[in-house]
Chain A
Amino acid sequence: MASQHGSIGKNWPSAGALLALAVLALIALPALVALGWSSPGMGSTSASLLWRAASFTLLQAVLSTLISVVLGVLLARALSRRQFFGRGFLLRLFALPQGLPALVAVLALVSLYGRAGFISRFWPELPSIYGLNGILLAHVFFNLPYAALLTLIALQQVPREQWRLAQMLGMSERAIFRVIEWPVLQNALPGIAGLIFMLCVTSFTIVLTLGGGPAATTLELAIYQALRFDYDPRLALALAMGQIGLCVLLLSFLAKFRPPFAETARLSLGPERASLSKSGNPVPDMIMIVLSALFILLPILSVILSGLTADFSRLLTERILWRAIATSGGIAFTAALIAVLIAYPLALAAIRLESKGAVKQARIFEAPVELTLLLPPVLLGAGWFLILMPSASSVGYAPVLIVLINAIMALPFVYRSLAGSLRRLVAHEDPLCESLGISGWSRFSLIDWPILKPAFRAAFTFAFLLSFGDFGVIAFFGSDSIVTLPFLIYQRLGSYRTDDAAGIALVLAVFSILMTQAFSAFGRKEHAHD
């Protein structure tokens, strides 16, 4: 086996990575500088309230992350062991919760677990959804499927031989966990947990709506309040930086648990394990899978069912709905494409550096991707607005900014989706490609693309769904030329038209499902011949 420590030499990937880093910096930094320079002086905010906000933020985010990750690992293990009808479809639906606008998801959860909810009716002892319970419930709904999906992808990188050895040696489930699964999880979980943690830190609508009152106050709210009601961009920026600092502390703590770059498998023979599994009791696994599937799918079903009461004969003839579908789709498609184009070279560079033991340098390419998640989109929007405002008309650049900000928000997801496969690519194809002198475009098209295609597909789908359901920045620019589906939902809800809003949420959910199906079909044919 060729040494992994040889120089990679061909510097196209690092050039690409530097370019991507520059683009990222160009999108984020000017906005921050503009906010810092903006005119109103920085006001103060009550230290005790801020402290309370920070501690509640940490509390809910840590708990949400723990529950999501632990359940996610259990679910991923169960899924990795079992093969059943509809497994692929189920896994594709796992990408959906993250794509639902927060308010739609909250109302769906409430219609199940709320005081008048469907489940509460059969189970009146259910604890109230308002308060920390509800926040955790909603965050687990959003993040459990995501955690399970990423863990499953990691587990699928265990080579077939090792599952067979486990079988031949007659390993118990405990031994399998210790010898095979835990090392894989140790690699993957810090990244997954970090991402989920940041998502929960920045969660806004969920925390406020289900929080029950100002005891559930987060830093994100303080940022929003500073920017909106107090119009104090510098204070908002300072608070955002504080939030980032807090997360950096926690993430560097998590990073300690990450083992050094280890050689991973050459072959990925995905569901191999499931087809092997004739030993072991399938009942606990299937219970775990069925319960999780219900937990994830019931709210989606609820979105669809409550949408059915809408007057579709009118709704579907409204031109604005179709325009919104096209606009949302266009924004999401472009944003997802840009996110993949930025994340890929960065992830590749980070993982190459890591494989050579340059962990610190690797963090230079990795950290900015993760931290962008902590910048509230409205903050970026406001910053850019301040920069562009004197020279241009809002109508012209609003779409560009909306796309770019959405792309940035999707970056960490794309990065995580690509990282696992890239790790394998770097460990196994780099030495060979180097020795054969394959590089540049031919390397990408001949070696990387075919191997990474499933990962690209997953990353793109995720980024697409995220932007498709995003409301964040659009309201900020307020130009009537850009009407998206989430915008329409909020607009109708804002003027008593709850049935219309439910109907449009249904349209959004159905389109999301159709899109995941369409993207997963893309390139499948070729794959069959592999």
Chain B
Amino acid sequence: MLRLASLLTLFFAAIVPAYAAPVLTVYTYESFTADWGPGPAVKKAFEAKCGCEVRFVSLADGVAILNRLKMEGKNSEADIVLGLDTNLTAEARNTNLFAPHGADISTVTVPNGWSDPNFLPFDFAHFAVIYDSEKIKNPPKSLDELVNGNPAEKIVIQDPRTSTPGLGLLLWMRSVYGDKAPDAWKKLSKRILTVTPGWSEAYGLFTKGEAPMVFSYTTSPAYHMIEEKTDRYQAAAFSEGHYLQIEVAGIMASSKQPALAKDFLKFMISTEFQDIIPTTNWMMPAAKTSAPLPEAFGKLVNPSKSFLFTPEEVASKRKVWTEEWQASMAQ
């Protein structure tokens, strides 16, 4: 009997350590957890200090993450949700699934400041028109120049009904043109080669040379400069200002590891996490990094003005504006 007990003890001693550490489940989007994305480095760095295991569940994008949470409700396995953006936070807050993050937000450095009690930024970027400098010598200097420019120089954009950047452009046009946005869309539609369901299709067409312009982020050229050593692809700086995308994370109220989750969010705005972001997620850090950003980031467009609707405005108007867009574009 005693022998059996000691055998069992030995057995469990052998297998338990693998399971003993608490598991922190993080819902995020798939390019975050890719081998070259921030995921692996973040996991390693946080696990080294927390004595826990970080488990990523990766979904297509922020919208998919939010839908997943709506389906799962309080039964969700998620402790942390990482990868929503400010266009989604009002809807996310309305699910009542999120707990206050409780972090000190004084170190957060995003344009226009930050005050959300539930969600904490981890990076940001401005939307921008990326152009092929070999094909376009005089890029548009404003959104208005883009709208009224030469219809033979085409741009590929994303569909606001299916993608985040698509929605970004819709909101940008709204910010600049207000109620006149449908007319501006009508003019812009002459320059639009096609409207893709997601960012990947659009960027794929752009790099295949189908159009000299694509809708993307101010940070896109950084990838080409650092990874491909080329400054062929550049962002066009628009005088009106650029629309902002802030990516955030939040803690699930149903989390069984609330303390650990809070630690993770604190870690998220620490230099250790922020150092990883620029060259893996190709976004701007939302807090201090330990060293200056790589040189390429200094060459990026740095908008003087940032547009951002409040999450509540987006939540209430998105549907109307999208249908308006559809009507003016379909003509």
Instruction: Verify A114–B208 contact, CB threshold 8 A.
Output: yes
Asked if residues B30 and A491 are in contact (CB atoms below 8 Å), the reply is yes
Give the Cβ gap from B187 to chain A, nearest Cβ, in Å: 14
CB-contacts of A90-122 with B (<8 A): 103, 106-107, 110-111, 114-116
User: Are B30 and A478 in contact (CB-based, < 8 A)?
Assistant: yes
Given A130-B194, A205-B201, A495-B282; A215-B30 close (CB under 8 Å): no
Q: Which of B57, B194, B207, B323 makes the CB contact (< 8 A) with A480?
A: B57
Q: What band does the interface of chain A fall in when counting residues whose beta carbon is under 8 Å from B?
A: 35 or more
Task: Determine if A110 and B35 form an interchain contact, defined as CB atoms under 8 angstroms apart.
Answer: no
A492 lies within 8 A of chain B by Cβ = yes
Whether the Cβ atoms of A494 and B31 lie closer than 8 Å is yes
Report Cα–Cα, A472/B211, bound state, in Å.
Answer: 27
> Does any Cβ of B come within 8 Å of A230's Cβ?
yes
Bound CA span A382–B31, Å: 22
Q: Are A110 and B193 closer than 8 Å at their CB atoms?
A: no
Pairwise interchain contact B162-A225, C-beta atoms closer than 8 A: yes
B199 contact from A49, A225, A494, Cβ within 8 A: A494
Tell me if A187 is interfacial: C-beta within 8 Å of chain B: no
The complex places the Cα of A176 from the Cα of B133 at a distance, in Å, of 60
Which residue of the partner chain B has the closest CB to A131? B194
B200 and A231: CB pair below 8 A? Answer: no
Is A110 within 8 A of B30, CB to CB? no
Question: Known contacts A107-B204, A110-B205; is A491 also within 8 Å of B31 by CB?
Answer: yes
- Complex: how many Å from CA A494 to CA B66? 19
Within the complex, which residue of A114, A209, A494, A496 is in contact with B196, where a contact is CB–CB below 8 Å? Answer: A209
Residues of A near B162 (CB, < 8 A) are 208, 221, 224-225, 228-229
The docked-state distance in angstroms from the alpha carbon of A247 to that of B35 is 43
B197 engages A204 (CB within 8 Å): yes
Question: CB of B59 within 8 A of chain A?
Answer: yes
Q: Name the CB-closest residue of A to B192.
A: A213
Give the residue name and chain of the B residue nearest to A225 (CB). Answer: B161
Tell me which of B34, B77, B207, B330 contacts A215 (CB under 8 A): B330
Would you call A479 an interface residue if the criterion is a C-beta within 8 Å of the partner chain's C-beta atoms? yes
Whole-angstrom CA separation of A90 from B176 in the bound complex: 55
Instruction: Decide if B210 is an interface residue (CB 8 Å cutoff).
Output: yes
A228 touches B64 (CB 8 A): yes
Other-chain residue from B189, B203, B323 in contact with A496 (beta carbon distance below 8 A): B203
The answer to whether A478 and B58 touch across the interface, beta carbons within 8 angstroms, is yes
Interface set, chain B 28-81, CB cutoff 8 A to A: 30-31, 33-37, 56-60, 63-64, 66-68, 70-72, 75, 77
B172-211 at interface with A (beta carbon < 8 Å): 189, 192-201, 203-205, 207-211
Do A214 and B200 have beta carbons less than 8 Å apart? no
Residues of A contacting B60 in the complex (Cβ-Cβ under 8 angstroms): 475-476, 478
Q: Does A211 contact B (CB under 8 A)?
A: yes
Q: Is A22 among interface residues, defined by CB-CB distance under 8 A?
A: no
B223 within 8 A of A: yes
Interface string of A38-57 (1 = CB under 8 A from B): 10100000100100100000
Contact A230–B319 (Cβ < 8 Å): yes
**Cα separation A106 to B201 with both chains bound (whole Å):** 9
B227 contacts the other chain (CB 8 A): yes
Candidate in A49, A208, A496 with the most chain B CB atoms within 10 angstroms: A496
Q: Which residues in A have their C-beta under 8 angstroms from that of B199?
A: 494
Q: Is the CB of B34 within 8 A of A491?
A: yes
Pick from A204, A217, A229, A385: contact of B326, CB under 8 Å: A217
Q: With A214-B329, A496-B227 known to touch, is A208 a contact of B159 (CB < 8 Å)?
A: yes
Within the complex, what minimum Cβ distance (angstroms) separates B277 from chain A?
13
Q: Which of A192-243 contact B (CB under 8 A)?
A: 204-205, 208-215, 217, 221, 224-225, 227-231
Bound-state Cα–Cα, A111 to B319, Å: 35
Most chain B CB within 10 A, of A107, A214, A231, A487, is at A214
- B325 contacts chain A at the CB level, 8 A cutoff: yes
A-chain residues with CB within 8 Å of residue B35 when the two chains form the complex: 318, 320
- Measured CB to CB, the nearest residue on chain A to B35 is A320
Q: Which residues of B contact A475 (CB under 8 A)?
A: 30, 59-60, 64
Q: Which residues of A contact B319 (CB under 8 A)?
A: 230
Q: Which residues of chain B are near A211, meaning CB under 8 Å?
A: 194-195
Bound Cα distance A225, B75 (Å): 25
Q: Contacts A478-B58, A480-B58, A495-B31 hold; do A382 and B71 have CB atoms under 8 A apart?
A: yes
A446 at the interface (CB under 8 A from B): no
User: Complex formed: what's the CA distance from A231 to B70 in Å?
Assistant: 8
- Verify if A262 is at the interface (C-beta below 8 Å from B): no
By the criterion CB–CB under 8 Å, are A494 and B30 in contact?
Answer: yes
In the complex, whether A497 has a CB less than 8 A from a CB of chain B is yes
Q: Is B218 an interface residue (CB 8 A)?
A: no
Which one of A250-258, A278-286, A388-396 is at the interface?
Answer: A388-396
B86: interface (CB < 8 Å): no
Would you list 11 pairs from A and B whose C-beta atoms are within 8 A, ordered by A residue?
A46-B323, A107-B204, A107-B208, A110-B208, A208-B195, A389-B75, A478-B59, A490-B200, A491-B31, A491-B34, A494-B200
Closest 7 CB pairs between A and B?
A116-B209, A478-B59, A493-B200, A208-B197, A495-B31, A215-B330, A475-B60
Where the two chains meet, the residues of A that have a C-beta atom closer than 8 Å to any C-beta of B are 38, 40, 46, 49, 52, 103, 106-107, 110-111, 114-116, 130, 204-205, 208-215, 217, 221, 224-225, 227-231, 318, 320, 382, 385-386, 389-390, 393-394, 475-476, 478-480, 487, 490-498, 501
Binding site for A on B (CB under 8 A): 27, 30-31, 33-37, 56-60, 63-64, 66-68, 70-72, 75, 77, 154, 159, 161-162, 189, 192-201, 203-205, 207-211, 220, 223-224, 227, 282, 318-319, 323, 325-327, 329-331
Besides A114-B205, A208-B196, A390-B75, 13 new A-B residue pairs in contact (Cβ under 8 A), listed by A number: A40-B70, A115-B154, A115-B209, A209-B197, A209-B205, A214-B326, A386-B71, A394-B57, A478-B68, A493-B204, A494-B199, A495-B34, A496-B224
